[in-house]
Structure 1
């Protein structure tokens, strides 16, 4: 945890004034008119109607609240901004890993992040909820399941008078939220944003909007990919977030997690319970998504499939896509993010007609710190385009176009493959992958949306993995998403975003883009277990020498391949940096006539491409990947 130090380099928002006037103005939006230092700080424990730890007592989740005292004194009820998290006492929140703090009587003092500092003076309450089994809540966390979702949903019910809250963790007197108007907006990064998705998928009354930042939409797609396993399961995460919350025995719940998340990558009941995409039809709240297109932690298929499912439900949507990895927009575009978030909450929680819903739907980072607005995501004019690999004069290397293909190509899975190893020498034969390129583009191509690949492969063994990726070949300066900061560098100066109070300041270290020069950029990835060719729910042993056809997804993105670059498809076996491999690596023979990739494109790829001239040596790319950290 970084300790906030000294004076801020720039005070962006002045200290709140105590002025007895309404906090909302249709002309200007909400202003910081309420006293933050004198705000009410309290904890309410809400009964979620479960007994997850089996102790014979209903689980109660702790909701730490900070709210301006003036509105209640004036008889005015206010909306709530909520962040429900398992991390308030385990790994912390934000780029500076802030934890909740309490005084000697157990009253909340320090609220992580800037939400309270910025929004409480503007007439909002901020409620930070400890998921069941974490920090000061009883029960057990279940990593995106019913307990996690109920932890936050029931607090919304309490804010609307439909659930019971208490003044203590056990016993205590009943507490009501007479100060709340029932309107709630949920926000949070990673696990927190995931819970926002899950609660929205219940259709709970009172939830008006959610802002999921790098959030999961289906936990299967956090731990697995089309039958392939990423090699870890939810029980480990549960134990991490429960570690500092003594007094509960969660071994039974953790055992359920371990057993339900089968190592073979099959989609089963545990994953179905945690699949919010299938419940997206229930969503009534507006949704403001933010995600890094190079997030290798919460992979981008999570925002893509959620976004597409929400489109069918007709809810108001907005999206920001950055070049970063797993990073909060507060740490890569701070001023613009806070301003946009302010307008968003003012509109959907305060009812202010500020036009935010009429602004461009999508904002995309094209180059580090260079942003472009789009009227929609996927981009207007996008068309699902089928590209087919065609053999060239070099074995395992050929062209990619809309033309029909024929023939075969082979490679061997040595169980040591990586995307950089496969992509580094695009014009030469590799024993471990095949590569097909559009050749040099005479005009740009924009990949906007979610791609998929259909592969017909004949394995030499009874099990096989497939990895596929789309690559933009050409020199570029990009955010160093595989570095320690996943595309950002953290400085020592600070800026302040709201009002300060003893033990809870609004100042955060300034960040900047961490960039690197590359010769190619991987823009979309996907992985699969060929044994799941018939069903994700049940793998089938493969018969060596028999062809199998499988369609699997590639990561959602929005990327422009510039004129003069080329777009390539690479197919390999086990990407050892990401998925677990079979016991023995097979030789895989690809039927090119029955293999294709469907890409959402704006622009027309060359009908008869020519391979670009071979580079002098291996191309530069990012050589390391940041460790996964679901924060």
Structure 2
């Protein structure tokens, strides 16, 4: 890959010490003279690997939570597996903690290789998934992996983003700070304050990162930083698209996917998931409000380091964008062109180095300057990253673009509409590849609008939306909008099974090793495709929710309504000579479960427009849209509405 800066001397030294490609062990090299203040793992403003990983303390405790949602009369307990340096305990040095709370440790595994926790015959943890313990424990951190309530070895019942889930992870932070009780397997008390200073950082991808967001939103004392990767900030927006149902019975499915308890223990919880999520209406209600962390962003005092794929069709991009916009704390963000992919599998050396420096700054208190560097790193084209001070782009302006009539079949972006009306009937079997291909031809079930060929590069940075003035012959219809870049380019192939990466047979190692845990992971390479068009972003809305997401307002067939369809946040550059397209449909059978009413939609172009956060401007449109022809680009894996919240 090409990066916008050369490899630092610090990073080169770390790679020389910590990475042995293709070998199942990693060397620990002496760090030199004792550090000032008697802290052996701090040298020259950074933590260094001086402690034995093989000889680390490995133990399990059960932390008591404040809830009893399995209703057995006993407070629910969270199983917590710990790896911490023995030498710091012997010297009575207290270390900070890196915590990952996950429902995946037993059922499904973590990371690109789906690693699970492993125990010896005595029940002692011998392998933690991922490299966090291998890399950070020798550097003076403890790593703590908590089975969320109702999963793994924990009691309670998983409530899929709800209070039980969040408070079970919060209880671990409380225990680390002496505010909650825990016991060992034999029932004797377990106390953490003898070996940790309580300074905790949470990390995790997907569901795990979502938990980190939720715990941070409680404002819990002792949580100093979080690193949410491809994470949820509103579970409503994960399972609903502005009133559009993503998939039926999804909370119950996610529960069953990770559940570690007997069915009888959690029947009441499953019933509450079914009733509260309210598939019948798609309304935002108290159930979803409990699972929306964004209003409590003001309570967050932990620093936040976000990583997300701009083409993530599982945890879509509004999850990071709306969270980022509300945070008033030190924050940093990486945005890649991939889908639901961990940056460890995209930009491995830079990611580990940056994560190391981030934790050193906010958990060890080392003034290493990372908080003064540009806050945002964005992949603009495959393998090319740029650093910026803020996001969205500082020069992006909100521009309203009219929908012109064009030739009466294909409209224009910009230009006059006259009294033109576009009419189409919902075609629930119209797939995305067909809908966006060949925009200059008539396709039943869609309406297409094209810009003139770009005279210079433009950048879409932020959250687009389309406002539609519609008349519908049914009480409601779903509305779908897609923004498309028409023009040949090599792009990250996020629609392939690896969502932008290909896993290679070689390995690299990222930390110290034991016989049971070698810290070595399969290398990856970018998965690229050269195509004549690509979808930049998508948006959906149930038209009956045009007044509020909290209730439906059925449409009357004799009235015109203004419905705004927000699209997912994005940051994309369109090259000179390319054409920007807007494709409108009704229901979408790939990214949602269509609740098709068979509606016929009239679209009044005079009252409709596209709003784009643009750096640059679209060229003045011609009288008709340019003649753009394309070939369909079919996806190569299962539609994302059927995927679980994958690890």
Q: What pairs up with 1:316-331 in 2 under 5 angstroms?
A: 316-331=330-345
In the alignment, is the contact (CA less than 8 A) between 1:139 and 1:248 conserved in 2? no
Partner of 1:283: 300
Aligned to 1:458: 471
Aligned to 2:447: 434
The match for 2:265 is: 249
Q: Are the equivalent residues in 1 in contact too, given 2:468–2:564 (CA < 8 A)?
A: yes
How far residue 403 of structure 1 moved from its aligned partner, in angstroms, is 6.9
Aligned to 1:345: 359
Structure 1 distance, partners of 2:418, 2:145, is: 56
Unaligned 5+ runs, structure 2: 1-19
1:506 paired residue number: 519
| Distance (Å, rounded) in 1 between the aligned partners of 2:368 and 2:428 | 55
Paired residue for 1:38, among 42, 55, 60? 55
Structure 2 residue corresponding to 1:223, chosen from 216, 221, 239: 239
Aligned to 2:536: 523
SS at match of 2:531: strand
Partner residue, 2:458: 445
The count of aligned residue pairs is 618
Which residue number in structure 1 is paired with residue 4 of structure 2? none
Deviation digits for residues 223-245 of structure 1 (CA, Å, limit 9, x no counterpart): 10111111232111111111x44
- The CA distance in 1 between the partners of 2:49 and 2:222, in whole Å, is 24
Partner SS for 1:280:
helix
User: Residue 175 of structure 1: which of 181, 191, 195 is its match?
Assistant: 191
Residue of structure 1 equivalent to 2:230? 214
Where does 1:58-77 land on structure 2 (aligned, <5 Å)?
58-77=75-94
Instruction: Note if 1:532 corresponds to 2:527.
Output: no
2:423 counterpart residue number = 410
Aligned to 2:289: 272
Using the TM superposition, give the Cα deviation of residue 81 of structure 1 relative to its aligned residue in structure 2, in angstroms: 0.5
* Cα distance in 2, alignment partners of residues 558 and 62 from structure 1: 40
1:610, distance to aligned residue in structure 2 (A)? 5.8
Partner of 1:385: 399
CA positional deviation for 1:540: 2.4
| Cα displacement string for residues 370-407 of structure 1 (whole angstroms, at most 9, x for unaligned residues) | 21222211112111111121111132x11112878653
2-side partners of 1:507 and 1:48: how far apart?
35
Q: Measure the CA separation in 1 of the matches of 2:22 and 2:98.
A: 27
Partner of 1:621: 633
1:525-579 CA-partner distances (Å, limit 9, x unpaired):
1111101111111112222232221223210111011111122211111111112
Partners of 2:515 and 2:226 in 1: CA distance: 30
Please, what TM-score do these two structures have when normalized by structure 1? 0.94
Output the CA distance in 1 between the equivalents of 2:120 and 2:623. 69
Aligned match for 1:333, one of 347, 370, 375 = 347
Measured at CA, do residues 241 and 405 of structure 1 come closer, stay the same or move farther in structure 2, by a change above 3 Å?
A: farther
- 1:198 counterpart = 2:214: yes
CA-CA distance at 1:463 after TM superposition:
2.2
Distance 1:464 1:502 in 2: 58
Match of 1:594, SS state, is strand
CA distance in 1, matches of 2:568, 2:438: 23
Partner of 1:134 in structure 2? 151
Give the Cα–Cα distance (whole angstroms) in 1 for the partners of residues 31 and 261 of structure 2: 38
- 1:276 & 1:405 partners in 2: Cα distance? 44
Question: 2:452–2:621: 8 Å Cα contact kept in structure 1?
Answer: no
String of CA shifts for 1:462-490, please: whole Å, max 9, x gaps.
22110001111111111211111111111
C-alpha spacing 1:247/1:552, structure 2 compared with 1 (3 Å): closer
Change (3 A) 1:367 1:12: farther
Q: Decide whether aligned partners of structure 1 residues 402 and 373 sit closer, same or farther in structure 2, where only a CA change above 3 A counts.
A: farther
Preserved CA contact (<8 Å) 1:289 1:303: yes
- Between the aligned partners of 2:191 and 2:444, the Cα distance in structure 1 is 67
| Shift of residue 16, structure 1, vs aligned partner | 5.7
- Superposition deviation, residue 612 in structure 1: 5.6
Pair 1:26–1:502, CA change in 2 (3 A) = closer
Structure 1: gaps spanning 5 or more residues: 1-6
1:160 aligns with 2:173: no
User: What CA distance in whole angstroms lies between the structure 1 residues aligned with 2:525 and 2:201?
Assistant: 29
- Equivalent residues of 2:420, 2:604 under 8 A apart: yes
- Structure 1 residues 441 and 10: CA distance shift in structure 2, 3 A: farther
Instruction: Give the Cα–Cα distance (whole angstroms) in 1 for the partners of residues 507 and 474 of structure 2.
Output: 57
CA distance in 2, matches of 1:194, 1:212: 7
When the two chains are superposed, the root-mean-square deviation of aligned CA atoms in Å is: 1.9
